[in-house]
Chain A
Amino acid sequence: MTDNKWDDSKIDNLLGSMPDIRDERLKSDILMRLQQDERLHHPRRNNVKKWMPALVAVAALLMFSLVIPSMLQHNDSAMDKAIEPASMKMKQSETSMDSEEQADVATADAGASAETFNIATARMLPENHVLLQEELQGFQLLQMRLDVDANTVVPMTFLIPKEQIAADFPEGEPDSAALFRQYAADTPEAELGFVEMEPVASNSPQPYYKTVMPSGQLYLTPYETGDALTAEEALLAMKEAQSDVVEALIPENITYAIQEREGVVIITFTEPLDLSAMDQSAANEMIEGFMLTANNFKKRVQLENVMQNTFLRYDLTTVLPEPVGVNPTYFFE
């Protein structure tokens, strides 16, 4: 105990005077311990697996099948064991569906595989943040949420080639819990810049914004405003970020009005919108943000007063497609 009054200056000075504490171990000992760590000899469970954010060419080149598993609340102890190495967390969720039920959601078979993926081509194009129905063939989905902080959660869709799953599960089609145990521990949440990872849970519909990880990777993310919003309110709320962590997807100079017609949200820009004058990635993020926000309300989007008829993979003369996943990330062996 001291008798001194603690003021800002004193605290500031003492904090600034704390001693250096050094690691006294030999560098060679630190290196030796690393050399003995199996994870560095056989990264990603003895395989050269790689998760990579979706690039737009993936959509054009891949064909698919779909399962929409979410992580379930059964088999906790086994889960804990599987999750621990990657510091992930599996959250019990009342909203979880039975795995077999979910597996039945979509098992449409596909033809081609991920072998046609052309990274060089893909990297030259704006990244997609929305997964469309026609892009699912050949993959099973693992839908997760990654927590950035207390208020910001990034929903992610991990796509695993069905061929990979067939190789890893020769005994038959795995349920979603088995998928989680097999693959989730390999998702590089820290490398992606996240704190933790857990299954996707349903939230109240919220507007989408963007968040940029320390790695530089950009994700579209809903932000929980705490208010119950209508679709119109949410689409208009996208103009202004409600948080330090997220940024608005809509440039300041772009304004628009919202109408609803038969389940379709019509977004009419106040001034004719020239997408070619915008940064292509930013324009794509804005359009996909509209799609995702409307989709939260089970609605689709049509844009009006845009100078272009098409933009990247979207036909702007009609209703935009329904997203089936967000922030797709592909798993490659």
Chain B
Amino acid sequence: MNAVTLDALMRDRRVWRGRPAELPPSPAPSGWPRLDVALPAHGWPEAALSEILLSTEGIGELRLVLPLLARLTQEGQRIVLVAPPHRAHAPAWQAVGVALERVTVVVTPSAQVAWAMEQCLRSGACAAVLGWLERADDRTLRRLQIAAGAGSAIAFLFRPRGALANASPAALRVEVTPGQLQIRKCRGRVPSAAIPFAPPLT
């Protein structure tokens, strides 16, 4: 093993060193400064799966990722929504800067959500893939995590908060409750205290 591999190990936060090492800033900042500070790379984990766990819907869970989606689509990259629970309301998405022509929606029964997400992630043609999945076993999550790495895409999986009871191979797990965020798992850093989160209405 040479020094380059060791550096890569440190950078990917696979080795825990007791005190947080300075990491190169993530090219995918979340757009929420207080969340960025709590994340080790100051942004969403790249080429990895992030889980967003909700107490209920309508608490700003989409607004959490919209700044990233806006930036990616403005750069001309594609994002895909797999099995969203409702219709995306185009004017609101446009208002936060999402380039709609770069957004694709895949409508599919829940049995095919994991398959469709994996295809999108693996293809290397999508910058971010958002999926809504009620229940997913460890194997499915691991596949998604590997697919995100293979296609170097950012995967977001929206699930009910109850899934926190089970372990997950995701690089990041964020619990969203009304008014606050809680990082439940984060590769490379001890999860921090709750982060206030109140996205503006417009």
B and A form one assembly? no
Q: Which residues of A contact B (CB under 8 A)?
A: none
